[in-house]
Structure 1
Amino acid sequence: IPDSYVQNPQTKMEIYKKIAGVQNAEELDSVYTEMTDRFGPVPEEVSSLLSLAQIRIICRKLNIASIKEHNGIAAIEFAKVSDISVNKVLRLIAESAGAVKLNPSKPNMIFLNTGKIGLKEKSEFIREKLEKII
């Protein structure tokens, strides 16, 4: 959170805690509304932070064990007990024009080709793809 958006360090820490504690979309919306009411439109850095919180919510819904990104590839590992729709995953792969792939040697993972984009775009790309398999 940039100092130009929230100057007070204590207030900034409170906001970080609220964002970290978000458990569902309603709570995230509430934090977003509170921030815009108190401090005005959120800057790109805060938008990225909120997008990451949204990804955490989706990860809980889909039982995702981890997301690791390296060299423009995001590896999404599902927990052994994930309850995802194979049809939704296959549709996502078909519609992705090669951006979403499987690896037969890692059957509990999907791979997203994020390319060389910024953090905000990357988090939005990952969120968008994960939302399609909820």
Structure 2
Amino acid sequence: MVVLAESWIGTPYRHQGATKHVGCDCIGLIRGIWRELYGNEPEAVPAYAPDWAERSGEDRLTDAALRLFGKALPFAEARPGDLLLFRWRPDCAAKHAGILVAPTYFIHAYEQVAVTRSALVPSWKRRIAAVHRFPGTRID
């Protein structure tokens, strides 16, 4: 999972994109990784505005993660390759996603930058809303 996520580094940021080396946003990064793992699109994604999570009043990213990945895990159980969801404030919907690549680093599509590896500094860590493991990658 980490090698797969790292292969997306440098992909330009493109709102609603989901194509390696061409362009993606944070949701597109997760969709693209899903396609590489499982061979198909996880589910149809309706068009969304850059501020979609704040406009809708729904927590659509969290709802989709629960449908596709199952129950969230405690952060203490997170391991490299897990999906991280972030919310900017406790009263807001989750609006950002990335892949944990080490205890203190994650990969995500960063607006106006590209897919990049970032330090999981306290300002990111406190915004983690959920941790999910890709289906079929659980160690029981």
* TM-score in same-fold range (> 0.5): no
Q: Tell which has more relative contact order, 1 or 2 (C-alpha 8 A, sep 6+).
A: 2
Which has the larger strand fraction?
2
Which has the larger helix fraction?
1
